[in-house]
């Protein structure tokens, strides 16, 4: 098969992803040999029963890949929380939480917390270690400024000033089930 012939066949069948399809269409404008390959594959496939002259709707291939990726990906004995199926709840104005996991034996909960720009959370004491990993954005406790990738542990019987964000943030927090 000539170079590009496979791409030409996939283009005709509508199997190229969105970006690859756009790039291929651009190449078609200036590459006569590539246009000839597309015409060849169109003539080969036009005789197939039920062959459609129209390409599938934009984004269909990506949706199929997403569905394939999602099916069977869970492993026995594990729990997976997918981003697209998130159930967020309001903690306070400008602050939402998503419960990821509860470990009753350890009396711990794992949460994702999203704070809108300018949001703040009240000062509080800790009855157990509270682990905070900043995933994106900024979070400050008084003069302590955290950014994406920073990890902070508040130990039992400690407290800190209100948590504040200037630009908004997403944090992963592991804390006591008794902490609210």
pLDDT of res. 60:
77
Partners of 102 in the β-ladder: 109
Predicted local distance difference test score (pLDDT) of residue 47 = 66
Q: How many CB atoms lie within 10 A of CB 180?
A: 7
Residues in the chain: 180
**What's the pLDDT at 69?**
58
What's phi and psi for 27, nearest 5 deg? -65, -35
Secondary-structure class of domain 87-176 per CATH: mainly beta
Cα pseudo-dihedral 165, 169, 172, 175, rounded to 10? 20
Residue 3: its pLDDT value, please? 46
pLDDT at 132: 94
- The whole-number pLDDT of residue 167 equals 97
- CATH 2.60.120.10 domain residues, the chain: 87-176
Burial class of residue 131 (count of CB atoms within 10 Å of its CB; 0-12, 13-18, 19+) = middle
Burial class (CB in 10 A: 0-12, 13-18, 19+), 148: middle
- What tens-digit pLDDT sequence spans the chain (180 residues)? 444 567 888 888 888 888 888 888 888 899 888 888 888 888 877 766 655 556 677 777 777 766 655 555 667 778 788 887 778 999 999 999 999 989 889 999 999 999 999 999 988 888 889 999 999 999 999 999 999 999 999 998 888 889 999 999 999 999 988 875
């Amino acid at each position: 098969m000539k170079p590009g012939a496979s791409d030409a066949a996939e283009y005709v069948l509508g199997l190229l992803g969105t970006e690859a399809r756009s790039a291929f269409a651009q190449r078609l404008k200036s590459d006569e040999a590539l246009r000839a390959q597309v015409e060849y594959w169109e003539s080969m496939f036009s005789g197939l029963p039920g062959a459609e002259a129209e390409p599938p709707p934009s984004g269909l291939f990506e949706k199929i890949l997403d569905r394939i990726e999602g099916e069977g990906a869970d492993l026995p004995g594990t729990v997976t929380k997918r981003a697209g199926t998130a159930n967020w709840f309001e903690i306070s104005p400008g602050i939402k939480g998503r419960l990821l996991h509860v470990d009753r034996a350890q009396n711990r909960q794992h949460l994702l917390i999203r704070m809108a720009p300018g949001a703040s959370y009240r000062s509080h004491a800790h009855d157990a270690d509270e682990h905070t990993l900043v995933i994106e954005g900024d979070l400050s406790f008084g003069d302590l400024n955290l950014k994406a990738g920073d990890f902070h542990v508040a130990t039992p019987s400690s407290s800190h000033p209100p948590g504040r964000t200037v630009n908004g943030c997403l944090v992963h927090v592991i804390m006591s089930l008794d902490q609210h």
